[in-house]
Amino acid sequence: MKPITLITGASSGIGVELARIFARHGHALALVARRVDRLNALADEIERSGQPRPIVIAADLTQPEPSRAIGEALAAAGAEPQYVVNNAGFGLVGSAAKLDRVEQLQIIDVNQRALTDLSLAFVPSLERHRGGILNVGSVAGFLPGPGSAVYYASKAFVLSFSEALSSELRPRGIRVTVLCPGPVPTEFAERAGVKSKIAPGPLVHTAQMVAEAGYRGLMAGTPVVVPGIGNRLVTLLVRVLPRRMVLRLVGRRQGKRQSAAEQRQA
């Protein structure tokens, strides 16, 4: 079986940049998302650069056990994962009691359930190829998140799960890295309902910068990667500030985002 790098959420943002970086370093790819037209456009771009054309897999990660369909598609192409990159994810801004409950449960399906499924489903092939797992978390995983409660909680799961998995799989020669960026100006923010300035400038980084940091961290076997000094300071501060203060600060910030979204809808 040919070793490949499997990347979910590869139709936009950080996922696109991760695909470009892995391809540039000689990795054969399998790209997963719902929007096949975008995946094919990215596959064409990578092929034009002189790299092998990626495998394109259409998948809805809100459905149970996505690893089964993805695994079957890879097997049909004579491939198996050397690296699994769980980049797919989304969030919503607003009060949990007011936001659509089904959509919030889909956050859990994609950000937690699918990520867990794909992290565990291919461990034997990751071990055979001395590869690894890159899970895309967030600085939000270090914080409580009033105003985006389910999203923040989902990223706390990704952080905890990935750190534990790194410890468990290291003796088997498998690297596990969790990439925890701060705000990144991508379609992710628009889907969450954020179209205004997403954060103070020093905390914001491009998708390309974040993807490069994640790739370097995975190859080095670094368990947790937080791109940017400002974001690293945030993760340190929340450990020493009173929890009540952190809740108030995050709630105030999310409240401004929610108000901006409501004004646009009015």
Residue with tokens 């092929």: 47
Element (H, E) at 248: helix 243-265
Residue with tokens 């108000």: 259
Within 13 Å of residue 246, how many CA atoms lie on the same side as its CB? 15
Check residue 173 and give left, alpha or beta (phi > 0: left; psi -120 to 50: alpha): left
Q: How far apart are CA 247 and CA 239, in angstroms?
A: 12
Q: How far apart are CA 99 and CA 153, in angstroms?
A: 15
Q: How far apart are CA 260 and CA 195, in angstroms?
A: 8
Q: How far apart are CA 21 and CA 34, in angstroms?
A: 21
> Active site residue: 83, 151, 152, 215, which one?
151
Element (H, E) at 2: strand 2-8
151 noted as active-site residue: yes
Nearest partner of 136 among 3, 10, 4, judged by Cα: 10
Residues catalogued as catalytic? 151
